[in-house]
Structure 1
Amino acid sequence: MLWKGTPNLSLSQRSTYATLPEPLNTQIAQSSQSEVMTLSKIIIVGAGPSGCVLALLLANAGINVELLEASDKLDDSPRASFYPWPAVYELQRAGLLPEVRERGYVVSDGVSWRKVDGTLLARMDISAVPFDRRLHGLPLGKLLQLTREHLDRKSNAKIRYLHRVTNIDQSDASARVFVDTPEGEQIYSADYIVGCDGANSTIRRALFGDDFPGRTWDQQIVATNVYYDISKYGWGQGAFIVDPEYFCLVALLQPDGLYRVSYGETVGLTREEYIARQPEKFRKILPGSPGPEDYKLVTINPYKIHQRCAESFRVGRFLLAADAAHLCNPFGGLGLTGGLVDVGNLFDCLNGIHQGLADDSILDRYSTVRRDMWFKIIDPVSSQNLRHLLQDPDVAMKEDPLFLEREKFSDPEFVASLVTVSDILG
């Protein structure tokens, strides 16, 4: 049977998600230049990857920017982090790409799909994909460290730690946030304030309350980072397990052999129960059936997965981006990619206003275009990416549109025509 609930996008259709939203640049070019508004300052709430990249883009353009971060430091945990070419494009614009490649790696050997016993179902050859359009890998903690190094060299950029936003306010002239700081409550104001403060965004909640339309998946995910020599089993840098119970992603995080292993679990257990079940899960899903003595577990994080999108990414002088604006499941990397493209588009809009090339209405266009991308591409494609894995593998080989095209996966020119590795990961 075919999975229902999302469009059955072909591989070529899936590649369209990588198209950058040209309507934003078009509208900037067509906007009236009669209302020039040089921006004095932008505040970004949340110093995660999207917030930091936006801050760097703004600072590079000469716009003053402040980041307000509730924690006492940037998150340095080795979370999964893979960047398809739309994200690579934004990293390049921010001036980060050469060092991303130095500190991380570029995928060179494709991706495979397997049964839980390791039997190969399909493998995709990426040898003909242009180098700059391949998936790039660098853990988020290292990306944040790199971005902070660049921001620290900017006199017009400031990160304020232990600054937790508690409330918001705005007028026709500015936006304000009320902030708990080590020195007590303070008020910060700016021309615009951007919420990049994650799935539990204070800014989004202040604008919309608890309303965050969408759904929560029935499946539970446990994300782990582990040192284990998977390469000797020929699994390459990325592999998926297709199985309704043991579905899984295995991907190389960094060149020293740290892997991301994200697998499905039973819903409703405690964190302690998930941790206790991890050794048996690894024994079942990893090649070589390893025991705890065979690997070094670095992190383990059980979490629920969602498909959600805020009703607007703009309310007056407040804007939303990345996880504060929308969520999707992690299979295929569309959450992080969508967030980075959000802030790239938002930078273009704010910079257009700053230079007098666009008026304030361009921010309404930002909200419209980015929400449209979520509903038409990010939500259906990421949902389909996960559903590809939640199947009996033998049935999938006979009925799933993705695997019915598997004979073409060995044709490097066909794969190159898809343009972006992120699409083929689904």
Structure 2
Amino acid sequence: MSKHDDRPVLVVGAGPVGLTAAAELARRGVPVRLVDKAAGPSPLTKALMVWPRTLEVFRGLGAAAYIDKHGLPVHSFRYNSGTDPICDIVFGDRTRPMVIVQPDVEELLREALERDGGTVEWRTELTRLSQDPDGVLATLRGPDGAETTGEFAYVVGGDGASSTVRKAIGVQFTGATYPNLFILADTALDGDLQRDAVHYYCTENGIMVLVPLHNGRFRVFTAGPPGMKPKDLTPEVLQDFVDKRGPGGLRLYDISWQTTFSIHARHAERFRAGRVFLAGDAAHIHSPAGGQGLNTGVTDAHNLAWKLALVHRGAAAPVLLDSYGSERAAVARAVVKQAEVQTKAWMLDKRWQIMLRDVSARLAERTGLFDRFYSPWLAGLTNHYPAGPAVDDSPGGRPSRFRQRNGHLLADPATRESLPVDRYTLLVTLPASGARPAALAELQSAYGELVRVRTTRGRRFSAVLVRPDHYIAAQDSAPDLGLVHRHLASLAAPAVPARREDLVGEGHSA
């Protein structure tokens, strides 16, 4: 095992992404400082759709009771062309999302962080950043205006689309902005509208999305005219949008929050520069279509935190961190592409395009394509990672030998929940009559700080190496575990040579 690093990790930005990173690091025993230049948590509801994979991350942080109290399960997405139903994407137990508004998400994450001794340093701003191969120097301006400079092991930038961290490391943020302006409003609503579904209305007058909220209200999302100013969005204007684009018969009142905004599709040219990492909106932004934004950012942070923790405590080599950018960039590209396709489908205005869209959606529902592919993808269950430092490039024997491929999420949720979060797990199936291979003891001895072995009995030998985030790293069908040994050897931190005085102190000859 290499030397443990006792310097803290600095996380900038105390929204869902920064809070997830800090909470995941703290639960693994990593010292962390979480700073945000705001005076305190934002009350604005902002993002609200939380998908099953993200819910699993939150439950792992001890938030199950909070989710049950504050979450509103969504039964289906109901799509309409005008007021005519097109399709109904129904979610099962495995794929069902929940509406949890962003202030509640942030509260459950702050509670998780506090349980492990962490806290948010509000009114604390990053002003300067420099690094070398051995560490990062960051200057922070505190609430009193005084600046202090500290040394950190790593820095995580979870500070949004205008990221100070991203600018400090000189990473470009490339992409485009949609010409349309978009409108959000949270409001009470009178009318007959199913409360366990998200309603989409694609009309000749524009798109209208109505999302139920836990407190009995609805989120209204629609497109506004280019150049519209926030002051132009009066209650009368919003009501007119709902009348012309919604199902009819709905009356809005008591609007609690409204805003206008532009939609961007942008991504950082890289997610890492040395010891500094970008996550969430600091690394990628896209249309809210599909409700993936918060989820992608949270799972960015989840992916990064376990890797940082293993390297920080000296159980894994820094090469493991090289996998973060390639893995999460692949996910971000898929999310941006899907959101762009859906946004463009909403905005179609030619009759033949609308007819083709509607026929395609009905066919996808009828043939089960939504159930088999789209819903699991939205749920975050089918994202997978390319071969690299944290995913072995070998099939581990005959491809048919294993039910799942390397880089994919372990399928069984019950097994996922039972695995340790601070190291890899090797799930070994031993033949009922076979002896325990000597390679298992050798592996545990060589990589005990990095992996734990769990055995069961079955028909034939197999070994599945599962990462702390429950993705499959490597698989092996040979009892000598050559492939697994090779993968772990590539990740294990080199041992620190014993100092002469340590050997003498242990009774060795000088």
**TM class, shorter-length:** 0.7 to 0.9
Q: Distance in 1 between matches of 2:373 and 2:279?
A: 30
Amino acid at match of 2:105: L
The residue number in structure 1 matching 2:169 is 207
1:247-326 mapped onto 2 (5 Å cutoff): 247-254=207-214, 256-275=215-234, 277-291=237-251, 294-326=252-284
Partner of residue 158, structure 1: 119
Tell me, in whole angstroms, the C-alpha distance in 2 between the residues paired with 1:39 and 1:367: 24
Contact 2:47 2:294 (8 Å CA) reproduced: no
Query: How far, CA to CA, are the matches of 1:191 and 1:153 in structure 2?
Result: 23
CA pair 370-80 structure 1, distance change in 2 beyond 3 A: closer
SS of the aligned residue for 2:46 comes to coil
User: Which one scores higher on RCO, CA 8 angstroms, separation ≥ 6?
Assistant: 1
Deviations 1:66-120 (A, max 9, x none): 1101111111222231112222232222222332122112222x1111234x332
Aligned partner of 1:359 among 317, 337, 340 = 317
Q: 1 CA distance for matches of 2:238 and 2:219?
A: 14
1:381 correspondence with 2:381: no
Q: Whole-Å Cα distance in 2 between the matches of residues 413 and 213 of structure 1?
A: 33
Contact 2:49 2:98 in 1 (8 A): yes
Residues 59, 407 of structure 1: alpha-carbon distance in 2 compared, 3 angstrom cutoff: same
What are structure 2's unaligned runs of at least 5 residues?
Answer: 381-510
**Aligned-pair CA distance for 1:318:** 0.9
1:198 aligns with 2:160: yes
8 Å Cα contact 1:332-1:423 kept in structure 2: no
Deviations 1:365-417 (A, max 9, x none): 20122112222x112111011112112486456323x7524245267896266
The structure number with the bigger radius of gyration is: 2
Given the two structures, how large is their TM-score scaled by the length of structure 1?
0.81
Provide the secondary structure at the position in 1 that maps to 2:330.
Answer: helix
Shift of the alpha carbon at 1:121?
A: 2.2
**SS of corresponding position for 1:296:** strand
- Cα gap change, 1:423/1:264 in structure 2, threshold over 3 Å: closer, same or farther? farther
Matches within 5 A, 1:215-234: 215-230=176-191, 232-234=192-194
Q: Quote the offset at 1:227 in angstroms.
A: 1.4
Counterparts of 1:222 and 1:389, CA distance in 2: 14
Cα separation, partners in 2 of 1:138 and 1:234, compared to 1, 3 Å? closer
- Structure 1 segment 84-163 matched on structure 2, within 5 A: 84-108=51-75, 110-116=76-82, 118-126=83-91, 129=92, 131-155=93-117, 157-163=118-124
Q: Percent identity?
A: 22
Instruction: Give 1:268's aligned amino acid.
Output: G
Deviation at 1:339?
A: 0.6
Aligned partner of residue 362 in structure 1, secondary structure: helix
Structure 1 residues 423, 89: closer, same or farther in 2, change over 3 A? closer
In structure 1, what is the Cα distance between the partners aligned to 2:253 and 2:20?
Answer: 34
Q: Name the CA distance, whole Å, in 1 between partners of 2:204 and 2:108.
A: 38
2:300 is matched with 342
Distance, in Å, in 2 between the alignment partners of 1:268 and 1:132 is 42
In 2: Cα distance, 1:245 partner to 1:168 partner: 48
Structure 1 CA distance, aligned partners of 2:243 and 2:313? 58
Cα deviation for residue 38 of structure 1 reads 3.6
Corresponding residue for residue 500 of structure 2: none
Report the TM-score, using the length of structure 2 for normalisation.
0.69
The CA distance in 1 between the partners of 2:200 and 2:15, in whole Å, is 27
- Structure 2 residue matching 1:242: 3-state secondary structure: strand
Instruction: Identify if the C-alpha distance between structure 1 residues 244 and 169 changes in structure 2 by more than 3 Å, giving closer, same or farther.
Output: farther
Q: Which residue of 2 aligns with 1:70?
A: 37
Q: Distance in 1 between matches of 2:259 and 2:99?
A: 20
Letter in 1 for 2:378: S
Q: Call closer, same or farther: CA 1:176–1:158 in 2, change over 3 Å.
A: farther
The runs of 5 or more residues in structure 1 that have no matched partner are 1-32
Distance 1:172 1:71 in 2: 31
Aligned length: 378
1:232-251 matched pairs, under 5 angstroms: 232-234=192-194, 236-243=196-203, 245-251=205-211
Tell me the equivalent position of 2:133: 172
Partner of 2:404: none
- Structure 2 SS opposite 1:59: helix
CA apart distance, 1:358: 2.3
Aligned to 2:493: none
Inter-CA distance 389–222: structure 2 relative to 1 (3 Å threshold): same
Change in Cα spacing, 1:417 to 1:195, as seen in structure 2 (3 Å) is closer
> Is this contact kept in 2: 1:36–1:353, CA < 8 A?
no
Partner Cα separation in structure 2 for residue 91 and residue 329 of structure 1: 24
Question: Per the alignment, in what secondary structure is the counterpart of residue 63 of structure 1?
Answer: coil
Assess, with a 3 A threshold, how the Cα gap between structure 1 residues 275 and 59 changes in structure 2: closer, same or farther. Answer: same
Query: Quick one: which amino acid aligns to residue 105 of structure 1?
Result: L
